[in-house]
A and B are shown apart, each in its own frame.
Chain A
Amino acid sequence: MMSSIQKRAEYRSLFRHNVRGRLIIDKIAMGIVLACVVIAIIPLGSILVEVFKNGLAAISIEFLTQVPGAIGTGQGGIGPAIQGTLIIIGMSSLIGIPIGVMSGIFLSEFGNNKLGRTVRFFNDVFMEFPSIVLGIFAFLTIVLLLGHFSLWAGAFALSLIMFPIVARTTEESLKLVPLTYREAGLALGLRQWVVTFRIVLSAAKNGMITGILLAVARISGETAPLIMTVLGSSQFFAGFDSPMDALPLRIWRLSLLPYDSAQLQGWGAACVLIMIILAINIGVRYYFATKSSSRGKLFYRIMGGKKQ
């Protein structure tokens, strides 16, 4: 009897010792995890603070509308860059969205076979292609062929970044539309394409718009493919066949100049660019955060693992 009481006390102290150690390790792990979160947020905070602090000082009506002045003077603005970015976004959307939506329809409506799985897989792999390689491709296929740098080449390069994102988000949103919707349409004697376009697409509208907007946000910051396609320019729009400026390109050029005034203009351009991108991103996220849970799930499925 005695021995068992002693043994129990011994076990108890062993247990306490053991638990204390384990709890300390648990606390340390929690601390490290929290530190990871903080470390990741600091750069984002710093970027936002610096861009808005320095950028807002540079922004004026003149800055937003004028052509760039002589190098180093700090005169002029980023008018052509803003115009160019908007035009390039519009043109790439014109090429990229129809292909992306049709491809998404293929994946969700006809993609339940080997070809569909292959396309889905390579679509995901294509999404991670280095964008500079797509720039080289557009350079070889369009710039070399036509003999000059052009908006077309840039828009083509960016549409290649855009369509896989649109395709996958379209597919995910179409899959959420209940099968009964399609059956109801077909039972009424509607053709399949009518059912798809009129019923399924309109039911999946929200998810698709999210995908399209995120794709737009993604391409509006792309720089590398633009270096070798639209080249950059300091003039306003001069036709689709000529070089054009874009905000990321302007920031890149300004960053290469050693003048304080160029830096200030660079911050201004960065501020405009990040405002466009954050407005789209936060807008989309806020919209989906306030939506019903199923939409929220769709959103996380789209975002999870996908670079946007």
Chain B
Amino acid sequence: MLLTNKKSRISADKIFKITATVAGVYVLAIIVLIVFQLYSESHLVWEHEGLGFITGSEWNAVEGREAFGAAPYIAGTLATAGLAMAMGVPISIGIAMFISQAPKFIANPLAIVIDLLAAVPSIIYGFWGLLVFRDFLLYNIEYPLYDTFGQTIWLFSSAPFGLDIFSASIILAIMIIPTISAVSREIMIAVPHMQKEAAYMLGATKWEMFRLAIFPYAKTGLIGAAILGLGRAVGETMAVTMLIGNATGPNAFPQTLFQPGQTMSSIIANEFIEASPASLHLPALIGIGFTLLLVAIAINIVAHLLVSRMLKVKEGVINT
């Protein structure tokens, strides 16, 4: 009696452990499956275009004249994400500085409000951007810039329309602020108190304390936070699709700020449903998805390594 009881105990726990392990490994299996599926479904276009798929700029789905080059969309993704980083990272770090220093009764609600920015879905950013923000941007920022610098600086040299790389980048910048500022905040809080106290004891002002104690110590983590934001900006779809103006072919190459463009995710969102599975159009879009996935994985792995290394330092400090 006792023996059988013991036996069944072991087996039930084994089943439990195996189930849990399977569920845990599920994520690895899914990642492998996604990479494999996306590659195998897009290999037709890789065969057809070769490396030209990455470097070419022609985009034509008409049968017999098929040409698929994703370079303008890759460039568009890099341009919008880069601009978004240029605007979003300083603002996010400023917010993190404020939240890490402010008294709790201000910092906590403010952190929640910033987190709510991340809760607003992409589609609502897009809708708001299309109907409200676009007008504001067009008349208050884009036209003045165009009127003053349009002749002299090539960045502002095309007539603004409101649906362009510039407006998509600003929306992206708003959308990555919560990610970057939340991680930066954690990292700034993780800097050991002794560092900050040492800076204050030397007579540093608050700003100097940040410059002397926090920034050098947290540099890696802050870079990781920014890269995490970049990963998010690269994959963001709906808001960008609604605001970027959706050019295709060589025209989609980002040349000026006020010119319509296209990103990897936006061209998938725009054309996926119309693409015929029988032609090369669908494999081409899947190929772009595959490229996007590889870029996103690479960015996120780097970001997670940087951030987790920084937060591990924190644990060590607490333990000693």
Partner-B contacts on A (CB < 8 A): 22-23, 25-26, 29-30, 32-37, 39-41, 43-44, 46-47, 50-51, 98-99, 102-103, 105-107, 109-111, 115-116, 118-119, 121-126, 128-134, 136-137, 139-141, 144, 160, 163-164, 167, 191-193, 196, 217-218, 220-224, 227-228, 231, 248, 251-252, 255, 263, 266-267, 270, 273-274, 277-278, 281-282, 285, 289, 300, 303-308
**B112 to nearest A CB, angstroms?**
5
Q: Which of B51-59, B66-74, B181-189, B254-262 contacts A (4 or more CB under 8 A)?
A: B181-189
When the two chains form their complex, are residues B238 and A116 in contact, meaning their CB atoms are under 8 A apart? no
Report A-chain residues with C-beta under 8 Å of the C-beta of B201: none
A214 to B181, CA, bound (A): 19
For residue B225, give the distance in angstroms from its CB to the closest CB of chain A: 8
Query: A43 to B174, Cβ gap below 8 A?
Result: yes
Give A34 to B30 CA distance when docked, in angstroms. 43
CB-defined contacts of A123 to chain B, threshold 8 Å: 27
- Of B11-19, B140-148, B150-158, B192-200, the one with at least 4 CB within 8 A of chain A: B11-19
Cα distance, A260 to B7, chains bound together (Å): 71
Asked, given contacts A131-B235, A303-B115, whether A140 binds B286 with beta carbons under 8 Å apart, the answer is: yes
CB–CB A140/B41 < 8 A = yes
CA of A139 to CA of B42 in the docked complex: distance in angstroms?
A: 13
Task: Give the top 5 A-B pairs by smallest Cβ distance, nearest first.
Answer: A221-B121, A130-B235, A36-B94, A102-B23, A106-B24
Contact present for B110 and A37 (CB under 8 Å): yes
Per the bound structure, the CA–CA distance linking A106 and B25 in Å amounts to 9
Taking a contact as CB atoms closer than 8 A, the residue among A50, A196, A248 that contacts B121 in the complex is A248
Residue of A nearest to B122 (CB): A223
Assuming the A-B contacts A22-B205, A36-B95, A130-B293, are A193 and B26 also in contact, with contact meaning beta carbons closer than 8 angstroms in the complex?
A: no
Q: Are B207 and A40 in contact (CB under 8 A)?
A: no
Which of B95, B117, B206, B307 has its CB near the most chain A CB atoms (within 10 A)?
B95
Considering only CB atoms, which chain B residue lies closest to A190 in the complex? B9
Indicate the member of A30, A109, A164 with the most B CB atoms within 10 Å.
A30
Residue of B22, B207, B293 with most partner-chain A CB within 10 A:
B207
B97 and A33 form a contact (CB under 8 A): yes
Q: Can you show 22 pairs from A to B with CB atoms below 8 A apart?
A: A36-B94, A40-B92, A40-B114, A47-B124, A50-B131, A99-B26, A103-B26, A128-B231, A129-B34, A130-B237, A132-B265, A136-B285, A192-B13, A220-B121, A224-B265, A228-B273, A251-B124, A252-B238, A255-B242, A281-B119, A282-B116, A308-B118
Is the CB–CB distance between A221 and B20 below 8 Å?
no
B97 to A, closest residue via Cβ: A33
**Given known A-B contacts A23-B205, A99-B26, A126-B30, A44 and B113 have beta carbons under 8 A apart:** yes
CA distance A239 to B181 in the complex (A): 43
Cα-based distance from A125 to B297 in the complex (angstroms): 7
Known: A105-B23, A224-B237, A281-B116. 18 other contacts (CB 8 A): A29-B206, A36-B93, A40-B117, A43-B133, A44-B113, A47-B125, A105-B20, A193-B13, A221-B123, A252-B123, A255-B126, A255-B127, A273-B123, A281-B115, A303-B182, A304-B185, A304-B186, A305-B228
B177 vs chain A, min Cβ distance (A): 5
Query: Are B268 and A136 neighbours in the complex by a CB distance under 8 Å?
Result: yes
Complex interface: chain A residues within 8 A of B33 (CB)? 137, 141
B27 x A164 contact (CB < 8 A): yes
**Residue contact A273 to B121, C-beta cutoff 8 Å:** yes
Q: Which residues of A sit under 8 angstroms from B297, Cβ to Cβ?
A: 125, 129
Complex Cα–Cα for A116 and B25 (A): 9
Q: What is the distance, in angstroms, from B191's C-beta to the closest C-beta of chain A?
A: 14
**Pair B28/A248 contact, Cβ less than 8 Å:** no
CA distance A122 to B26 in the complex (A): 11
**Residues of chain B lying within 8 A (CB to CB) of residue A47:** 120, 124-125, 128
B304 within 8 A of A: yes
With beta carbons under 8 angstroms apart, the residue of B27, B130, B269, B304 that contacts A167 is B27
**Min CB–CB distance B18 → chain A (angstroms):** 10
Assembled-state Cα–Cα distance A115/B29 (Å): 13
In the assembled complex, which residues on chain A have CB atoms less than 8 Å from the CB atom of B24? 102-103, 106-107, 110-111, 115-116, 119, 167
A148 to B108, CA, bound (A): 47
Contact of A41 (CB < 8 Å), options: B113, B122, B232:
B113
Minimum CB–CB distance from A270 to chain B (whole Å) comes to 5
Residue from A40, A50, A102, A307 within 8 A of B20 (CB atoms): A102
Q: Do A133 and B38 form a contact, CB below 8 Å, given A140-B286, A227-B272?
A: yes
Contacts of B231 in A (CB 8 A): 128
- B206–A136 CB distance below 8 A: no
Give chain B interface residues in 82-136, CB to chain A under 8 Å: 90-95, 97-98, 108, 110-128, 130-133
How many angstroms from the CA of A300 to the CA of B152 in the assembled complex?
Answer: 48
Cβ contact within 8 Å between B117 and A130: no
B228: which A residues are within 8 A, CB to CB? 128, 305
- Check if B123 sits within 8 Å of A285, measured CB to CB: no
Name B175's closest neighbour in chain A (CB-CB): A43
A30 near B207 with CB under 8 A, answer: yes
Q: Which residues of B sit under 8 angstroms from A218, Cβ to Cβ?
A: 119
- A111 to chain B minimum Cβ distance, whole angstroms, is 7
B183 contacts which chain A residues (CB < 8 A)?
304-305
- The answer to whether B182 touches A128, judged by C-beta atoms less than 8 angstroms apart, is no
Whole-angstrom distance between the alpha carbons of A30 and B186 in the complex?
20
A305 in contact with B128 given A132-B268, A228-B272 (CB within 8 Å):
no
Our pick among B28, B130, B225 for the contact of A118 (Cβ within 8 Å) is B28
